[in-house]
């Protein structure tokens, strides 16, 4: 029997606006009618000003005509008191509107369902969260499944375990469940539920009704609706959300109180536990994730800057169109186009991980051809260092770990990556080849990937995260907390890798070979799960000897919803310092891009050009957006997500080391390596190096780009300033400092040359004057040169890309 019948489908809401609110009505009320059928149900009302669409929920006054029948809080939440009909009056100054309130027969409510009524309360109260009873080992002997994904086990834990004291059928208030939850009994987690509150009543009634877990197929939640799903807000204002669960039986019921809220950009907008969104002063966009019973929805919040004329700069290509659209909507002006010198340094460091030389600087800065920037981008994309640098980045996330795959294996896979990049292999082919690779790990190939990832689960987790941006790993043990992925999806995906054979090869290395795979079984139900792509139907594997083929086909197809977006986001994050989606390998409907049209345009561009990575990169780098200055305007200073100015990004450890060596003309001597290698060429991820350690070079223990540390530390500053290695580079008898000091150049010229070698630009007159002090105050010319070099190598401008 259905107890809660709320008529507020959003289409109906819309109708009620036009019907209930004539021309003179100032605001609308959602829903248009309230129907509550159990005493622990509630309905959140939304009151919206029509003209401005501002949320008035927290500013109007509420009255129930007959308080004996229903009650309403100041926040607009209606609770039943006794059966009957009444009205809710909403008062906004002079204006008053009413909606009918129906309270059903409270004496015979629908029984409380364990899985659909009790578990959501335990989830919202945090009982089954990962820090508490939801931990793998439970908490103080009481274990719940995380976020309530395993209702059977949870029911057992509550009713059968704990010597049956957790629920007390004949005296429900004495149940340990309730006494602990309210902290009537000492509870490590403190009070999670207020006694006699609505939730308390619901848990109590469930116990009183026999603490059963009866099937209630009609009550199964099939979807949730979040209203509003998009909202434009202004600083200091709030917006109440209204969340409605739709059941298999077709009921709709307000679960605003039970749902959970999380913002993906807390510096812009946050939501409290009752679903009230508040925003900061920082313009931008946030997505509020709403979660209820494994279902997720979002509300996108836009916070524009107010009151500015937007002067739209010229567009270089489609990237700028999408970025300007966004900035215009937000009222954030972009910074100016950066000068040639800043562009030169930025694009060198980004594309080839290498500083421009003094000569390259002079040439480019003298070049007056209009197409010089585009020409430079094309040239850099074809340089060998491009392959070196990007192979290094790929080897990090593909976990080319020398200590697992042997040095020869690491070299073999690094070489394969370089080849792909050098010949600009279409990205879809490259990934297809990797997923289906076979043969010896010591040959130039991606085979070592299957040595590092030893089992189907590891492969499934890494492949989905690296190439699809889906963190399916969560679903190994429990339903993904922010997504629709269940354990079934996890084992279906991992099941593609059950046919990967590995054996030692007589010639050394490991041989990776395909063999017939078998379906994995679901850890809880034991049923075997047919392999399937995420959210895709299970393919027919009967004709396939190597089931990875079908997976690879599905992954790289143009229709795959993640494949193109993931590489777009990864590259964008590399070149712009922040992914369109962050974290960059966490693509979810509930974690949207800050600029969806841009993301879509880039993904389409990639697909249209047959997954040509260089073309995509060129589109990004030739945009005016990439070439904006890092100097901020007062109006865009606080923007960090809409690309209104270039970002300051720490140089990766290897790039910074190479830059130091190049600027000083003193090569690094790597432990046991022949001379002449640059840090971006070092495939040895376990090479002991203090520099790599303090600057956060990843050890390749995870496929997450986040393993690369980019947090500054005191040790870094000390190392650059004082370390014997830094001193050696500056003092080296064959180094640049020595050469400059010995040259006939005037101080002016020397200062210029050091600026070009370090900061890739000419010094301004004031800077030159500042640096002349060294020549005036140092005892020797050599010391002066060293001091200037030391100072510039330690500037923010040198240590960061900008």
Residues 454-493 that bind other proteins (CB under 8 A): 471, 473-474, 481-482
> CB–CB of 517/497 below 8 Å?
yes
Instruction: Report the residue from 648, 671, 742, 749 that binds other proteins according to the rule CB under 8 A.
Output: 648
Q: Is 654 helix (H, G, I), strand (E, B) or coil?
A: helix
CA angle 552–554–556, rounded 5-degree value: 65
Q: Can you tell me the distance from the alpha carbon of 671 to that of 678, in angstroms, rounded to the nearest whole number?
A: 12
* Helical H segments across 102-249, by residue range: 119-124, 151-159, 176-181, 198-208
> Does the footprint of other proteins cover residue 164 (CB under 8 A)?
no
- Identify whether the C-beta of residue 668 lies closer than 8 Å to the C-beta of residue 657: yes
Stretch that binds other proteins, among 65-73, 490-498, 614-622, 765-773 (CB under 8 A): 765-773
**Choice from 165, 727, 743, 749 touching other proteins (CB under 8 A):** 727
Comparison of 19 and 718: residue with beta carbon closer to other proteins: 718
Comparison of 91 and 721: residue with beta carbon closer to other proteins: 721
User: One symbol per residue from 678 to 697: x for binding other proteins (CB under 8 A), - otherwise; what is it?
Assistant: --------x-x----xx-x-
102 backbone φψ class: left, alpha, beta (φ>0; ψ -120 to 50) = beta
Establish if 759 lies at the interface with other proteins (CB under 8 A).
Answer: yes
Stretch that binds other proteins, among 2-10, 194-202, 543-551, 598-606 (CB under 8 A): 194-202
Among 84, 331, 561, 583, binds other proteins (CB under 8 A): 583
Q: Does 528 bind other proteins (CB under 8 A)?
A: no
Q: DSSP 3-state assignment of 477?
A: coil
Stretch that binds other proteins, among 245-253, 303-311, 540-548, 762-770 (CB under 8 A): 762-770
C-alpha span between 92 and 27 (Å, rounded): 9
Q: Does 767 bind other proteins (CB under 8 A)?
A: yes
Q: Using H for helix, E for strand and C for coil, what is the string for 434-471?
A: HHCCCEECCCCCCCCHHHHCCCHHHHHHHHHHHHHCCC
* One of 19, 50, 96, 764 touching other proteins (CB under 8 A): 764
For other proteins, the closer of residues 315 and 582 by Cβ is: 582
Count residues binding other proteins (CB under 8 A).
91
Diameter of the chain measured on Cα atoms = 101
- Contact at 8 Å (CB) between 342 and 365? no
Which of 282, 342, 587, 606 binds other proteins (CB under 8 A)? It is: 342
768, 751 contact by CB (below 8 A): yes
Helix 340-352 × helix 613-621 angle, to 10°: 160
Min CB(719)–other proteins separation in Å:
5
Query: Smallest distance from the beta carbon of 139 to other proteins, in angstroms?
Result: 7
CB 276 within 8 A of CB 241: yes
Binding mask 735-754 for other proteins (x = CB under 8 A): --------------------
Distance of closest approach, residue 20 Cβ to other proteins, in angstroms = 33
Q: Which of 15, 50, 68, 717 binds other proteins (CB under 8 A)?
A: 717
Chain residues 695-714 in contact with other proteins, contact rule CB under 8 A:
696, 699, 701-702, 704, 706, 709-714
Contacts of 756 (CB under 8 A, 6+ apart): 358, 361, 362, 762
Does residue number 787 form part of the binding site for other proteins (CB under 8 A)?
yes
Among 151, 208, 538, 770, binds other proteins (CB under 8 A): 770
Site residues for other proteins, window 391-430 (CB under 8 A)? 401, 403
Among the candidate windows 93-101, 176-184, 507-515, 672-680, which touches other proteins by CB under 8 A? 176-184
* Cβ 167 vs Cβ 211: under 8 Å: yes
Q: Token digits for 13? A: 């809401």
CB of 335 to other proteins, least distance (A): 11
Residue 224, C-beta contacts closer than 8 angstroms, at least 6 positions apart:
243, 244, 245, 246, 255, 259, 290, 292, 293, 295, 296, 297
**Can you tell me the distance from the alpha carbon of 115 to that of 144, in angstroms, rounded to the nearest whole number?**
13
Nearer to other proteins by Cβ, of 536 and 770: the residue is 770
Nearer to other proteins, 341 or 500 (CB): 341
CB nearer other proteins, residue 12 or residue 706: 706
- Hey, CA dihedral for 356, 357, 362, 366, is it positive or negative? negative
Tell me which residues in 267-326 interact with other proteins (CB under 8 A): none
Tell whether residue 780 is a contact of other proteins (CB under 8 A): no
Instruction: State the residue for tokens 């606080």.
Output: 638
Q: Which two tokens stand for residue 757?
A: 């070698």
Minimal distance, residue 296 CB to other proteins, in Å: 13
Compose the 4-43 pattern: x for residues touching other proteins by CB under 8 A, - for all others: ----------------------------------------
Coarse DSSP helix, strand, coil percentages of the chain, rounded to the nearest 5 percent: 40, 15, 45
Distance CA 732, CA 771 (A): 21
What whole-number distance in Å separates Cα of residue 377 and Cα of residue 357?
Answer: 16
For position 733 contacting other proteins by CB under 8 A, the verdict is: no
Tokens of 358: 């003094």
Tokens encoding 248: 């298999």
What pairing do the DSSP bridges indicate for beta strands 230-232 and 295-303?
A: parallel
Task: Give the range of 134-142, 158-166, 316-324, 506-514 binding other proteins by CB under 8 A.
Answer: 134-142
Q: Which ranges constitute the DSSP H helices of 436-590?
A: 449-452, 456-463, 487-494, 548-556, 563-576
Q: Which of 130, 210, 508, 516 binds other proteins (CB under 8 A)?
A: 130
Give yes or no for residue 131 binding other proteins (CB under 8 A): yes
User: Rounded to the nearest whole angstrom, what is the least distance from the CB of residue 304 to other proteins in the complex?
Assistant: 21
User: Is 773 near other proteins (CB under 8 A)?
Assistant: yes
Q: Determine which residue in the list 5, 58, 89, 135 makes contact with other proteins, applying CB under 8 A.
A: 135
795 is a site residue for other proteins (CB under 8 A): yes
Provide the CA 144 distance to its chain's centre, in angstroms: 28
Q: What is the Rg, in whole angstroms, of the alpha carbon atoms belonging to the chain?
A: 31
68 binds other proteins (CB under 8 A): no
Task: Kindly state the smallest distance separating residue 624's Cβ from other proteins, in Å.
Answer: 18
Q: Considering only residues 618-647, where is the footprint of other proteins by CB under 8 A?
A: 629-632, 637, 640, 647
Q: Which is nearer to other proteins, 50 or 191 (CB)?
A: 191
């Amino acid at each position: 029997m259905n107890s809660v019948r709320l008529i507020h489908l959003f289409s109906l809401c819309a109708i009620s606006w036009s019907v209930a609110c004539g021309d003179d009505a100032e605001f609308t009320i959602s829903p248009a009618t309230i129907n509550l059928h159990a005493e622990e149900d509630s309905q959140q009302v939304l009151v919206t000003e029509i003209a401005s669409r501002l949320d008035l929920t927290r500013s109007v006054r509420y009255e129930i005509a007959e308080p004996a029948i229903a009650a309403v809080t100041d926040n607009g939440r209606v609770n039943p008191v006794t059966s009957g009909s009444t009205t809710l009056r909403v008062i906004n100054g002079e204006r008053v509107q009413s909606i009918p309130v129906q309270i059903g027969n409270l004496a015979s409510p629908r029984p409380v369902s364990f899985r659909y009524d009790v578990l959501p309360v335990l989830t919202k109260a945090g009982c089954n969260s990962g820090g508490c009873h939801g931990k793998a080992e439970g908490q103080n002997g009481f274990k719940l499944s995380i976020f309530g994904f395993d209702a059977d086990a949870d029911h057992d834990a509550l009713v059968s375990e704990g010597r049956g004291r957790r629920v007390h059928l004949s005296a429900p208030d004495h149940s340990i469940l309730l006494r602990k939850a309210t902290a009537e009994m000492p509870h490590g987690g403190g009070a999670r539920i207020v006694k006699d509150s609505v939730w308390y009543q619901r848990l109590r009634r469930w116990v009183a009704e026999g603490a059963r877990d009866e099937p209630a197929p009609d009550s199964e939640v099939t979807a949730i609706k979040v209203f509003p799903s998009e909202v434009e807000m202004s600083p200091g204002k709030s917006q109440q959300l209204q969340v409605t669960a739709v059941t298999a039986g077709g009921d709709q019921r307000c679960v605003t109180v039970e749902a959970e809220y999380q913002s993906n950009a807390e510096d812009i907008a946050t939501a409290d536990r009752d679903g009230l969104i508040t925003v900061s002063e920082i313009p931008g966009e946030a997505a509020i994730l709403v979660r209820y019973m494994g279902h997720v929805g979002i509300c996108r919040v836009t916070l524009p800057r107010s009151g500015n004329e937007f002067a739209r700069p010229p567009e270089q290509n489609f990237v700028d169109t999408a970025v300007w659209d966004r900035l215009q909507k937000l009222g954030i002006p972009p910074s100016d186009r950066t000068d040639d010198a800043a562009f030169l340094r930025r694009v060198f460091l980004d594309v080839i991980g290498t500083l421009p030389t003094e000569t390259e600087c002079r040439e480019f800065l003298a070049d007056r051809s209009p197409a010089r920037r585009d020409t430079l981008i094309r040239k850099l994309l074809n340089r060998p260092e491009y392959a070196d640098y990007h192979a290094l980045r790929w080897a990090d996330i593909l976990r080319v770990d020398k200590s697992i795959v042997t040095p020869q294996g690491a070299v073999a896979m690094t070489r394969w990556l370089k080849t792909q990049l050098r010949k600009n292999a279409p990205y879809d082919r490259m990934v297809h080849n990797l997923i289906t690779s076979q043969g010896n790990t010591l040959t130039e190939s991606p085979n070592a990937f299957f040595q590092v990832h030893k089992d189907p689960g590891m492969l499934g987790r890494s492949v989905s995260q690296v190439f699809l941006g889906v963190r399916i790993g969560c679903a190994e043990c429990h339903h993904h907390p922010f997504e629709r992925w269940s354990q079934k999806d996890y084992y279906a995906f991992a099941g593609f890798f059950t046919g990967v054979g590995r054996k030692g090869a007589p010639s050394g290395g490991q041989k990776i070979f395909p063999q017939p795979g078998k379906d994995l079984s679901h850890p809880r139900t034991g049923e075997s799960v047919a392999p399937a792509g995420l959210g895709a139907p299970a393919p027919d594997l009967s004709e396939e000897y190597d089931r990875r083929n079908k997976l690879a086909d599905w992954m790289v197809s143009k229709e795959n919803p993640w494949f193109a977006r993931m590489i777009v986001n990864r590259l964008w994050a590399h070149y712009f310092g922040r992914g369109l989606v962050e974290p960059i390998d966490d693509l979810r409907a509930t974690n949207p891009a800050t600029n969806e049209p841009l993301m879509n345009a880039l993904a389409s561009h990639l697909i249209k050009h047959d997954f040509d990575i260089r073309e995509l990169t060129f589109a990004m780098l030739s945009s005016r957006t990439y070439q904006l200055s890092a100097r901020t305007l007062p109006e865009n200073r606080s923007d960090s997500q809409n690309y209104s100015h270039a970002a300051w990004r720490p140089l990766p450890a290897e790039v910074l080391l190479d830059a130091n060596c190049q600027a000083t003309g003193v090569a690094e001597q790597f432990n046991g390596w022949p001379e002449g290698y640059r840090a971006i060429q070092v495939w040895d991820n376990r090479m002991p190096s203090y520099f790599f350690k303090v600057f956060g070079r990843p050890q390749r223990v995870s496929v997450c780009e986040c393993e690369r540390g980019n947090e500054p530390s005191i040790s870094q500053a000390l190392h650059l300033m004082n370390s014997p290695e830094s001193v050696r580079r500056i003092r080296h008898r064959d180094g640049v400092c020595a050469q400059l000091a010995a040259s006939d150049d005037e101080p002016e010229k020397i200062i210029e040359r050091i600026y070009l070698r370090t900061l890739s630009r000419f010094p301004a007159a004031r800077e030159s004057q500042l640096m002349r002090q060294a020549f005036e105050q140092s005892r020797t010319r050599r010391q002066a040169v060293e001091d200037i070099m030391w100072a510039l190598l330690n500037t923010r401008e040198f240590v960061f890309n900008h």
